[in-house]
């Protein structure tokens, strides 16, 4: 068995409470460009039903990590596993991703959602009811016939979530889904994320918003220069940060690495 796929042995003295097997796992994942390690030896296990929020300064590698975990880019070192096996195209069908700036097709809101089901091979006769339900949940029924690109930023982001959730993913990646939205739109998006969590969808989300992490996270990961500086239950990690970069980030202070 290749080293990267070997199960991680528990550390001596570690808790032996059985945990659910990870849904997605980063095994020493590195992404280097021209010798620069933008993501550097990340070890991370995301367990089913948990909501993990990834925090970190600009350029820390958060978006890259999400793209690596979702298989949009391939690691230059280490491996990403899905249910213990290398992530492949079939596994990615159980996942969905929503970006900060959603890309809408030049079609109606309804057709954008239906398209996601078409890509998954769902027959057209089986799409309508699922599309209606997804639009209803996102409170977009009244806008279903509108060209998606004419919707407001907040409406487009709700549509992007509807388009992701209609495929019934087990794991949903969210890359700063509320970054450019006002409080009302942010509240609506968080409501949809919360509903997905309640329905058992595993969430991995990047945000810059501490309040959002407090509201939505079971677990928090803090990335610093491509490395995991902290990882643990949100309540513990946010209340008692152990690393200086994370303390500085939480306090809104500038952190400069010692030379
Ligand atoms: N394909 C690439 N080739 C080279 N450098 C890249 C590539 N993608 C990202 N980077 C660089 O890697 C670093 C991490 O990028 P990333 O987008 O993951 O940061 P981030 O933590 O999401 O930042 P932000 O909070 O500003 O969105 C940045 O310095 C970025 O310029």
Among protein residues, the one whose CA lies closest to atom 2 of ligand 1: 33
Substitution site in 64, 100, 101 for ligand 1 pocket (most atoms within 8 Å of beta carbon): 64
From CA 85, how far away is CA 89, in angstroms rounded? 12
Residues 5-22: tens digit of each pLDDT: 555 555 555 555 567 899
Looking at the structure of the chain, the number of domains it has is: 1
Residue 241 included in any domain: yes
ipTM of the complex in this document:
0.97
CATH of the domain at 195: 3.40.50.300
Residue 208 included in any domain: yes
Q: What distance in angstroms lies between residue 59's CA and the mean position of ligand 1's atoms?
A: 5
- Give phi and psi for 248, each to the nearest 5: -65, -45
Residue 79 included in any domain: yes
Q: What distance in angstroms lies between residue 241's CA and the mean position of ligand 1's atoms?
A: 24
Could you tell me which of 102, 92, 180 has the C-alpha nearest to residue 140?
A: 102
- What's the whole-model pTM score? 0.91
Residue 10 included in any domain: no
With a pLDDT cut of 70, the percent of the chain lying above it is: 93
Render the burial of 48-82: b for 16+ CB within 10 Å, e for the rest. eebbbbbbbbeebbbbbbbbbbbbeeebeebbbbb
Residue 114 included in any domain: no
Question: What residues line ligand 1, using a CB cutoff of 6 Å?
Answer: 33, 38, 56, 58-64
Mean pLDDT, the chain, whole residue set: 92
Residues 138-195: tens digit of each pLDDT: 999 999 999 999 999 999 999 999 999 999 999 999 999 999 899 999 999 999 999 9
Q: What confidence score (pLDDT) does residue 255 get? A: 86
Helix (H, G, I), strand (E, B) or coil at 232: strand
Q: What distance in angstroms lies between residue 78's CA and the mean position of ligand 1's atoms?
A: 19
Q: What confidence score (pLDDT) does residue 8 get? A: 54
Q: Assign 3-state DSSP to the chain and report helix, strand, coil percentages, each to 5.
A: 35, 25, 40
Residue 140 included in any domain: no
Statement: residue 216 has pLDDT above 70: yes
Query: Which atom of ligand 1 has the smallest separation from the CA of 61?
Result: 18
Q: Range of 93's domain?
A: 24-101+171-251
Query: Which atom of ligand 1 has the smallest separation from the CA of 38?
Result: 12
Among protein residues, the one whose CA lies closest to atom 19 of ligand 1: 59
Q: What confidence score (pLDDT) does residue 5 get? A: 56
């Amino acid at each position: 068995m290749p080293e990267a796929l070997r199960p991680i042995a528990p550390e001596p003295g570690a808790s032996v409470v059985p945990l659910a097997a990870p849904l997605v796992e980063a095994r020493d994942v590195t992404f280097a460009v021209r010798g620069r390690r933008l993501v550097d030896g990340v070890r991370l296990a995301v367990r089913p039903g948990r909501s993990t929020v990834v925090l970190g300064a600009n350029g820390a590698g958060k978006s890259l990590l999400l793209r690596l975990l979702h298989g949009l880019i391939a690691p230059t070192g280490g491996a990403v596993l899905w249910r213990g096996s290398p992530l492949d195209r079939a596994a990615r069908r159980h996942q969905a991703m929503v970006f900060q700036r959603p890309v809408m097709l030049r079609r109606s809101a309804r057709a954008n959602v239906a398209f996601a089901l078409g890509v998954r091979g769902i027959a057209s006769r089986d799409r309508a009811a699922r599309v209606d339900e997804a639009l209803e949940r996102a409170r977009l029924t009244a806008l279903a016939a509108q060209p998606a690109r004419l919707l407001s930023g907040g409406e487009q982001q709700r549509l992007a979530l509807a388009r992701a959730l209609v495929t019934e993913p087990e794991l949903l990646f969210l890359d700063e889904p509320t970054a450019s939205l006002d409080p009302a739109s942010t509240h609506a998006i968080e409501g949809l994320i919360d509903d997905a969590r309640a329905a058992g969808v595993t969430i991995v989300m990047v945000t810059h918003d501490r309040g959002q992490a407090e509201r939505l996270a079971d677990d928090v990961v803090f990335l610093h220069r491509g490395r995991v500086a902290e990882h643990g239950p949100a309540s513990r990690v946010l209340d008692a940060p152990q690393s200086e970069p994370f303390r500085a980030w939480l306090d809104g202070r500038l952190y400069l690495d010692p030379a």
